[in-house]
Amino acid sequence: MKTILLAGGLGSRLAEETVAIPKPMVEVGGRPIIARVMDIYSRFGHDEFIVAGGYKGLMLKHFFANYHLIANDISVQLDTGELQLKPISAGGWKVSVVDTGAHTMTSGRIRRLRDWVGDETFMVTYSDGLGNVDINKLIEFHRAHGKLATVTAVQPPARFGNMELSGENQVQAFTEKVRRYETWINGGFFVFEPGVFDYLIDDMEPLEQSPMVNLTHDGQLMAFKHYGFWHPMDTIRDRNALNELSDQDPPPWLDFDDAAADPEKPQRATI
């Protein structure tokens, strides 16, 4: 099953980085975040990717064209230039990088890839968020409900510390974790049937607007609840947090033993 990686936006809130490179190339633990996203899918055997490029898309083409050198060790015979790869990573990805326009919005980027996808179920995700989503369970959930679209619903990470208060409003403790209750947001990690293309009619409209609204109105959008780790990279603070987490072994977005998703109670998504 093919996976579209939305990788063409400006990333204005990360301007410190994205003035020079596209947002998917911002590094997390020494590797571009887009490669970290691909690691998640690859763990479940999904290795065919279509990168929907746009802003500074040539850098994405250069990166993937040279990935075999970047991701492995090499031996070079300097007098002849003969090169031998010494593989240190699983690899095996097939990656297509497609220019979908510098200013095209997300729904338009997907629409422009219709011929690349063909008439089969496909996946879509953003290239700036990491989560230990069980991709195979997500696909099973999608196939079971029979609708056109599935979005992964996640609970947003805490942005501030939490104060524990007594019934008399006395402060009892400060904690870093905020109780998350039942707040759900769009975490990406979509699964779509080809019929979704009928909802993608305007290149200048985000996927999250009319396409998702109309799918919801028609009863064609279901939510796969993901209770495990998920974190976006929208700001420098997010990048720094993900960099720190990348030192863990495994990093939390690849710790699938801690990924608890409960598809037993599906709900239509509210975006």
pLDDT at residue 152, as a whole number? 95
Long-range contact list for 257-261, CB < 8 A, 24+ apart? 258/132, 258/228, 258/229, 259/132, 259/133, 259/134, 259/226, 259/227, 259/228, 259/229, 260/227, 260/228, 261/133, 261/134, 261/137, 261/138, 261/224, 261/225, 261/226, 261/227, 261/228
CA distances from 199 to 11, 163, 205, 217 (A): 25, 44, 11, 12
pLDDT at 89: 65
CB atoms within 10 A of CB 147: 18
Tell me what pLDDT residue 125 has. 97
Which of 131, 155, 149, 190 is CA-nearest to residue 6? 190
Provide the pLDDT for residue 177: 57
pLDDT for the residue 86: 79
Quote the pLDDT of residue 267: 43
Distance CA 33, CA 127 (A): 7
Q: Which domain holds residue 49?
A: 3-268
CATH code of 25's domain: 3.90.550.10
Q: Tell me, what's the pLDDT at 260?
A: 54
Within a 10 A sphere around the Cβ of 210, how many other Cβ atoms? 16
Per the structure, the count of domains in the chain is: 1
Q: Copy the structure tokens of residue 28.
A: 């997390």
Query: What is the pLDDT at residue 163?
Result: 67
Q: Which amino acid is at 192?
A: F
Residue among 176, 160, 189, 171 at smallest CA distance from 40 = 189
Helix, strand, or coil here: 166?
Answer: coil
- pLDDT for res 172: 67
Which pLDDT does position 270 carry in this prediction?
Answer: 39
Q: How far is CA 200 from CA 32, 122, 153, in A?
A: 29, 15, 21
What distance in Å separates the CA atoms of residue 258 and residue 226, rounded to the nearest whole number?
11
* Residue type for position 58: L
**What pLDDT does 136 receive?**
96
Q: How high is the pLDDT of residue 121?
A: 98
Residues 147, 120, 98, 66, CA torsion sign: positive
Task: Show pLDDT as tens, one digit a residue, over the chain (271 residues).
Answer: 999 999 987 766 666 666 678 889 999 999 999 999 999 999 999 999 999 999 888 999 999 998 887 777 888 889 888 888 777 766 689 999 999 998 899 999 999 999 999 999 999 999 999 999 999 999 999 999 999 999 999 988 766 566 667 766 667 666 665 555 567 889 999 999 999 999 999 899 999 999 999 999 999 999 999 999 999 998 888 999 999 999 999 999 999 986 554 544 444 443 4
- Catalogue the E-assigned strands of 24-93: 27-28, 31-32, 48-53, 73-77, 82-86
What pLDDT is stored for residue 91 in this prediction? 61
Write the DSSP assignment of 96-123 as a string of letters.
Answer: EEEE--SS--HHHHHHTTHHHH-SS-EE
pLDDT at 215: 94
* Token pair for 166: 């007594």
Task: Say if CB 141 and CB 225 are below 8 A apart.
Answer: no
CA–CA dist 129, 189 (Å, integer) = 9
- Residues 43 and 133: beta-carbon distance below 8 Å: no
